[in-house]
Amino acid sequence: MPDVQPLVSDFVLKLKRRKVEGSHAVARQTAELLRSVVSQHRMGSSANQAAALADAVRAVGEQLIAANPIDNALSSHLLIMSILDKSTFGYLQGGNVSFMVINESTATTFLNIPSLMLMKQWRFGNYIGRGVMAKFFSSSTKVDMQDMNSRMLWPGVNPAELAVGNIVRRVLHIIKEEDISSTAVGIEGLSVTVDSDDEYDSEHDDGPALSAAVLAAHARNALRAPSLQTLLEDIPVSPAISRTASSTGDSDGKSKSAGDKSSTRKLKHDVITAIGDLIDEIDSCYEPISEQAVELIHQNEVILTLGRSRTVKEFLYAAKEKKRSFRVFVAEGAPRYQGHVLAKELVEKGVQTTVITDSAVFAMISRVNMVIVGAHAIMANGGVIALVGMNMVALAAQRHAVPFVVVAGSHKLCPLYPHNPEVLLNELKSPSDLLDFGEFSDCMNFSTQDGSPLLNVVNPTFDYVPPKLVSLFVTDTGGHSPSYMYRLIAEYYSADDLVVRRKSGS
Amino acid sequence: MDIRRPPPRSSSGGVEPRFRQVGFVTSAEPEAEPAPAASPPAPDGLSTGARSPVMIPPPLIPDHLHAPVPVPVPAPASESQSFMPSSPPPASSSRLEAASDLDDDDDVDVSWARPPPPALPEPYKRYLTEKKNEDAPASFSQKPKLSRAERRATQEAQRAAKAAAKEAGLKSTAMASDVNTKLSKQPKTAKTSLKKDMTQVNPPVASDKKTSVHPPDKDRKKDGPQPRMQFDNAHRVVKAKKRSIVNQSEAQNRVELFRHLPQYAHGTQLPDLESKFFQPDLMHPSVYKVGLQYLSGNISGGNARCIAMLLAFREAINDYSTPAEKILSRDLTAKISSFVSFLIECRPLSISMGNAIRFLKNRITKLPLTLSESEAKASLQSDVDRFINEKIIVADKVIVSHAVTKIRDDDVLLTYGSPSVIEMIFDHAHEIGKRFRVVVVDSRPNLEGQGLLRRLVAKGISCTYTHINAVSYIMHEATRVFLGASSVLSNGTVYSRAGTASVAMVAHAFGVPVLVCCEAYKFHERVQLDSICSNELGDPDAISRVPGGKSSSHLKNWADNENFHLLNLKYDITPSDYVSMLITDYGMLPPTSVPVIVREYRREHFIACTIDLLHWHGLLNHLGQSELPASKDCCFDTEQTPHMCADAKSKAFSALDMCSSPKGRGEPQHCCRLATPMGTLIPGSLQPDGPSTSPFSELSENVVRN
């Protein structure tokens, strides 16, 4: 699809450069992008429209998911500061400053730069701006950044915004559902012969029938998805094809012949509407969540939160608007200090707010009635990927038997089961958040005999909270316990989309 | 340290005064009494007894009953006289309250000024003499006769009279009495009271100018865990304010939960104080300097603060001369108290400092009267030196030597903040060629870890630096967690820099052993369950200052909104179950045996200053080669040992370490219980002649690794 490719690569670039951050924004933009992908997708006359569409989405999705921000790939492995000689080499990338310091020989192997003069002049203490580096790169030979990244990449690290993958999977699921429902409607239409061929676009009359069909497909899908038979059936061939084939059975040929073109148009239309609904859902996820605030927050409650989450903010606002008076302790969430922002916002609404350092969480939690935090992603096992430091808070809450409540929209539900999430689903940011390079320039020249740097700085972004530490999830569909998450996720995703990859064969 | 007690407590300690007296009196022949109840450390043992059940020696009462008997026997005439005031009339506790509160400003004023005092105003003089009379000869005869109610009544009367006298004659008093002090002080007090609503003052141990006539009495009170000044008690706060040197202005938007703690706006009073530096009569310059350093945060860290304080006191003692008509032991104690109160105003005392002060005062009270002033001073100075040397410097060395055995090659050692002992441990381990990596976990707002990081890297130790939030991330790598402590309380909780508890908790959750290193002089018999009741509040503005200035604008004018609070907690409490092992200069122990150390340490405080600590530590280190001094033998006594044994498996290794002390070897049945969780050791191997040491160290290594 050459026509969407610019859009896609633009978004990929944005993701890489971390121009888009936060799961809400990412989810929304991904959905929008996929909507345009779907709308610009030219429906061929092939037998499996849905499969083709799904493939198109999958192709884009793959690119998006692969668009891991460059800097984290670098920093995660390098832990940033390593210095061997005086010749140091700084490297700025994307919107986020990240430093890579490598020695002369490594630099040569990496970059094949004929002259290292520039690099020699550059000292660690001198914090160089992006402009300088850009100039440096342009003046030096053509550096294949992508190549460099792939070399530096830690294989297996996939710490991208999980929301991208979530949305791609959601869209795939939507396509599948719509396909099934349209086939079902097709059967219906064929048997009852109500709908004319051309009027498929008008949604009014068959709306209820459609929704019923969606429900039916939903149920069917939900029932089918985990079964061994479907798994065995689906995996060898393109899943969507076999699904439609198996679900429609013998009437398949008939329905296709009946209204091939119109059903194609309808499918596309339906998918686009459904994606539009998804976007709406992402946008409005705060409302159903914050509606539950009054039921969870009582008068004079003392609440602790860490960092800033828009969902938490809306949740607390909602409680405040319902005339609940409560106090909030906000742990600041170093090194990004988003807690300060949240505290300010809460104070503006008249909530009694106390900012504490992250280190004081354990001391204060004994006086706290409830911990309410946001999440970056909720994994299928009920674990939470959240702001760094959250595990500490959750452990402290467990120690003092304080309920640990996670509020998150359903777009943060991720159908993956985490493995070693602290490392694999994490993202290491620039050490400049923690250490001032200028101050520590004198410590940079040390190294051990084997060449590894003496000074490492670790600045992870996320923390993994295991499900046993979470008391409650509040999503836009209500409150759930961690053990229920897998079921909730099964409603949103189909099992065969867990790995978003183009089927090379089909 | 706050010497005033609320009335209920003083009244509850009905038996205390007499018991205490026993302690003081018998202390002349302390070594002779091995029984724990003999209590040369009476003030201490008693006060601990009041708090912690572990330390109540049951035979206290009988002891005190026959205690007066030995009184005259060991004490020579002069000495007994010196003890007289130190074992004041039973009314002491309430008297003290009165005395220290407001009234007897006459004394210290006079003593502090170098020139001999001019004539005292009438009421004060009378009070002074009256008190002296009452003190010296009457103390013994009077004591049994007065009931407590009577004492109380007289006390009240005195207090009322004094208050009246004070109100009437304060100004004239001030003018008439010591010109030197009063002149410099009077305007200041006026200023302070003007600013009263803004100013606040710390616990009035004894103000710079007012001290009691009963220093030993007061001193005794200090020995116990004091009820701290509660700053939500407006009455007390107002009183305290009147006597402040440091014009602390209260921070805005105080957190409701912490009303009972002082919270000041920082940085405002420093210029003012600096300008006063050259007023010679205000405070001894060295003490003043140290106070300012505390205030500005130039000296931080428990050991550094304690050493700085002791050195300042030492210097002050050096420059001290007893005013006429004064007794050195009493006057000096009073003066030390005034120093202490000044230091408290600068920054609340750490527990270790409290212990050091207690030690010093004890030495002062115990000075034989026969000593000349210069001899007494020399003796005190050497006491201070010895305290610094034995309790801090040598203790650190011993801790280092213990802790290094727990470091193996390829270990990843995680530490939090910048504890001085831990740094020494790392240095030493590096020096002896262990290969290990250090993870420095740091937290806002002080970021002390950066200093540690810099020093370690400069020494060539490979370091990883991160913030406390990332501790769960980095804990995967760690194999040991070494933490420092500001104090270890007798229920085994560790009172330490805010965040230590979180680190220990995460380590516990990840199954990484937590080793807390703490000198025994920092142990305290107080117990604490949470971090709220007793803590220190730092400068709230420090939170709003963000490195790099990224989001500082969010909190710019936080104080304008009354709903907005910033809370900068300095300490927190680590529950004892997160601590696998305490490394002290007495060896490695489980946190459950802290009370034993507290008790034994106190005893040593009073009896055994003469015992060479170094020697003993050497013994601990080279087990089986010689015997412990007898008085140390009970260090790990039998009541405590099974307790340790019953501890969780994870603590077995430290118990084993204990067990390798001679007492453990002498008690094979306990050792057997110790060994069973490991399933490998038999009691026979614990026998003195058995090849005990090497399997032990191996075993402990194994356990630690797990």
Token duo for residue B24: 């003081």
Token duo for residue A23: 């799961």
**Cβ within 8 Å of residue B130, ≥6 positions away:** none
More confident residue, B698 or A360: A360
| DSSP assignment string, B451-520 | HHHHHHHHTT-EEEEEEGGGHHHHTTT-SEEEEE-SEEETTS-EEEETTHHHHHHHHHHTT--EEEE--G
Residue A202 DSSP code: -
Report residue A389's pLDDT band, with 50, 70 and 90 as the boundaries: very high
Q: What is the pLDDT of residue A390?
A: 94
| DSSP assignment string, B639-680 | THHHHHHTS-GGGHHHHHHHHTSHHHHH-HHHHHHHHTTTT-
- Nearest-CB residue to B470 (from A338, A364, A458): A458
- Nearest-CB residue to A350 (from B464, B506, B563): B563
> Does residue B120 have a pLDDT over 70?
no
Provide the residue count of chain B: 706
Q: What is the pLDDT of residue B680?
A: 30
Cis peptide before B227 (omega within 30 of 0): no
Q: What is the pLDDT of residue A502?
A: 62
More confident residue, B263 or B536: B536
- Mean predicted confidence (pLDDT) in B497-526: 93
- The answer to whether B651 touches B579, Cβ cutoff 8 Å, is no
Binary contact (A422, B567; C-beta < 8 A): no
More confident residue, A419 or A314: A314
Token duo for residue B227: 């009820």
Element (H, E) at A272: helix A260-283
Q: What is the pLDDT of residue B620?
A: 44
The strand pair at B436-442 and B462-467 is best described as parallel
Helix, strand or coil for residue A206?
coil
* Residues forming a β-bridge with B515: B482, B581
CB pairs under 8 A between A and B: 202
Classify each residue of B152-186 as buried b or exposed e, where b means 16 or more C-beta atoms within 10 Å of its C-beta. bebbeebbeebeebbeeeeeebbebbbebbbeebe
Binary contact (B458, A443; C-beta < 8 A): yes
> Does residue B661 have a pLDDT over 70?
no
**B404 to chain A, closest Cα gap in Å:** 21
Residue window 325-364, chain A: list those with CB within 8 Å of chain B.
329, 332-335, 337-338, 340-341, 343-344, 347, 350-364
Phi, psi of B615 (to 5 degrees): -60, -45
- The answer to whether B531 touches B499, Cβ cutoff 8 Å, is no
Q: What is the pLDDT of residue B33?
A: 39
Report residue A402's pLDDT band, with 50, 70 and 90 as the boundaries: very high
Which of A57-66, A191-200, A409-418 is the least confident region? Answer: A191-200
Tens digit of each residue's pLDDT (9 = 90 or more) over A5-37 = 888 888 888 877 777 777 888 888 888 888 888
Residue B563 DSSP code: T
Binary contact (B454, A443; C-beta < 8 A): yes
Query: A424 in contact with B at a CB cutoff of 8 Å?
Result: no
**A29 to chain B, closest Cα gap in Å:** 27
Binary contact (B535, A363; C-beta < 8 A): yes
Q: Which of A313, A316, A330, A357 is the best residue to mutate to test the B interface, defined by the most B CB atoms within 10 Å of its own CB?
A: A357
Q: What is the pLDDT of residue B479?
A: 95
Token duo for residue B462: 């490979």
Highest mean pLDDT among A121-125, A264-268, B122-126, B693-697: A264-268
> What percent of chain B is modeled with pLDDT above 70?
47
Which chain B residues are Cβ-neighbours of A337 within 8 angstroms? 546, 550-551, 554
Alpha-carbon torsion B249, B251, B252, B257, what sign?
Answer: negative
- The answer to whether A445 touches A123, Cβ cutoff 8 Å, is no
Q: What is the pLDDT of residue B548?
A: 65
What average pLDDT does chain B have? 64
Q: What is the pLDDT of residue B468?
A: 92
Q: What is the pLDDT of residue B98?
A: 39
CA-nearest residue to B544 within chain A is: A340
Helix, strand or coil for residue B131?
helix
Rounded alpha-carbon distances, angstroms, from residue A335 to A459, B444, B470, B696: 8, 9, 10, 44
Tens digit of each residue's pLDDT (9 = 90 or more) over B46-84 = 333 333 333 333 333 334 444 333 333 333 334 333 333
More confident residue, B611 or A371: A371
Token duo for residue A464: 């993994």
Report residue B423's pLDDT band, with 50, 70 and 90 as the boundaries: very high
**B459 to chain A, closest Cα gap in Å:** 9
Report residue A426's pLDDT band, with 50, 70 and 90 as the boundaries: confident
Whether pTM exceeds 0.95: no
CA-nearest residue to A449 within chain B is: B460
Phi, psi of B349 (to 5 degrees): -65, 145
Q: What is the ipTM of this complex?
A: 0.73
CA-nearest residue to A302 within chain B is: B257
Q: What's the CA gap between B339 and B209, in Å, rounded?
A: 10
Token duo for residue B389: 């040397």
- The three-point CA angle B112-B113-B114 to 5° equals 110
Q: What's the CA gap between B136 and B222, in Å, rounded?
A: 22
Tens digit of each residue's pLDDT (9 = 90 or more) over B455-490 = 998 888 999 999 999 999 999 999 999 999 999 998
Element (H, E) at A398: helix A390-399
CA-nearest residue to A426 within chain B is: B473
What average pLDDT does chain A have? 70
| DSSP assignment string, A292-313 | THHHH--TTEEEEEES--HHHH
- Nearest-CB residue to A359 (from B468, B473, B551): B468
Please give the single-letter amino acid code of residue B206. A
Binary contact (B544, A340; C-beta < 8 A): yes
Report residue A268's pLDDT band, with 50, 70 and 90 as the boundaries: confident
Cis peptide before A335 (omega within 30 of 0): yes
Q: What is the pLDDT of residue B214?
A: 43
